[in-house]
């Protein structure tokens, strides 16, 4: 036990000393420079007040269908910001990339492990744009179960889901509690860079929330596209099979690609672009049953 604690502490010290390069976020100046470089009319926004405020950026057609991009863990809106400069999308769609609670400039470093509370924090972004329909949610990695949670909690606001390498199956979650638990405690959490501290805490508490969500998944009736790499070493490819089996009242399309890893937004953005165009083209105004 002593040896384990020493090893954990050593890893923590290494992470602490590398804090400066582990923020996983863009500064406002970097965001503005990106928009200028790409020659797009993008803007930064905050919704909410105080520590509950959510930061997001948007660009594209102000009257178009809304696409909300939700990053994984750790991460920030920078994971999807390059989609805002995609001319095949921003001509017709209003594109929004957000910092989830605890990341980027949304109360950076202070975790919000509850998917329901994160869902409630992001829902006002959709309410701010009531005329931009259909509304598609794109969630990568841990952003996957979050956008599913949003579709369950706010069916009237969501018209389609694109799940990119999503961590949605509780049975496929890796057993990492032996090292996540010490860093989630107040004794060692302080040694982690703020982004990794928030990430560790929410991943540590993810599995029971996924288990609780399983009985609700049959309530999803909006169309779902799952994009999964067969060479994903972080999220097992069988999560795609889980989605096919559990979203029994939704039209589910699965895109599985041999050799593709977990980092789809960067390595294979065309798959996400194609999924967006497909969902909008096939849009039917369906929501959750019983809501």
Strand ranges in 100-250 using DSSP code E only, listed in sequence order: 135-140, 160-164, 224-229
Report pLDDT for 290: 37
Q: What is the dihedral of CA 187, 190, 193, 199, to 10 degrees?
A: 60
- Residue 278: other Cβ atoms inside 10 A: 16
Sign, CA torsion 144/149/152/155: negative
Contact indicator for 283, 253 with CB cutoff of 8 Å:
no
120-149 pLDDT, tens digit each: 999 999 999 999 999 999 999 999 999 999
Cα-only R_g, the chain: 18
Degrees, nearest 5: CA angle 94-100-102: 155
78-106 pLDDT, tens digit each: 999 999 999 999 999 999 999 999 999 99
Report pLDDT for 282: 75
Cα separation, 16 vs 14, in Å, equals 5
Cα separation, 101 vs 207, in Å, equals 19
Dmax (CA) of the chain: 60
Residue that wins the pLDDT comparison between 118 and 5: 118
**Tokens read off for 209:** 């929330």
**Tokens read off for 237:** 């490819």
Phi, psi of 7 (to 5 degrees): -65, -45
The answer, yes or no, to whether the previous bond of 134 is cis (omega within 30 of 0) is yes
Report pLDDT for 19: 39
Strand ranges in 85-130 using DSSP code E only, listed in sequence order: 93-98
Mean pLDDT of the chain: 88
Closest CA to 128 of 104, 157, 85, 99: 157
- Global pTM reads 0.87
Cα separation, 290 vs 168, in Å, equals 23
């Amino acid at each position: 036990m002593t040896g384990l604690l020493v090893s954990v502490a050593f890893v923590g010290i290494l992470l602490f000393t590398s804090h400066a390069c582990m923020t996983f976020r863009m500064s406002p100046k970097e965001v503005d420079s990106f928009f200028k470089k790409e020659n797009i009319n993008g803007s930064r926004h905050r919704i909410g007040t105080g520590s509950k405020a959510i930061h997001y950026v948007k660009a594209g057609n102000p009257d178009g269908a809304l696409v909300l991009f939700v990053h994984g863990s750790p991460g920030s809106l920078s994971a999807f910001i390059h989609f805002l400069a995609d001319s095949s999308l921003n001509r017709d769609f209003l594109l929004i990339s957000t910092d989830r609670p605890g990341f980027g400039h949304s109360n950076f470093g202070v975790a919000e492990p509850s998917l329901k509370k994160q869902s409630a924090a992001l829902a006002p972004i959709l309410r701010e744009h009531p005329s931009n329909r259909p509304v598609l949610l794109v969630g990568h990695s841990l952003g996957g179960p979050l956008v599913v949670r949003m579709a369950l909690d706010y069916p009237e606001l969501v018209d389609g889901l694109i799940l990119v390498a999503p961590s949605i199956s509780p049975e496929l979650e890796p057993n990492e509690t032996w090292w996540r638990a010490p860093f989630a405690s107040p004794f060692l959490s302080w040694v982690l860079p703020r982004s990794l501290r928030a990430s560790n805490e929410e991943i540590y508490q993810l599995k029971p929330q996924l288990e609780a969500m399983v009985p609700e998944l049959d309530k999803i009736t909006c169309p779902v596209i799952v994009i999964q790499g067969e060479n994903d070493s972080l999220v097992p490819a069988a999560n795609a099979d889980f989605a096919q089996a559990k979203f029994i009242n939704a039209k589910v399309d699965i895109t599985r690609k041999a050799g593709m890893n977990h980092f789809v937004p960067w390595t294979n953005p065309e798959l996400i672009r194609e999924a967006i165009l497909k969902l909008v083209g096939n849009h039917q105004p369906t929501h959750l049953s019983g809501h």
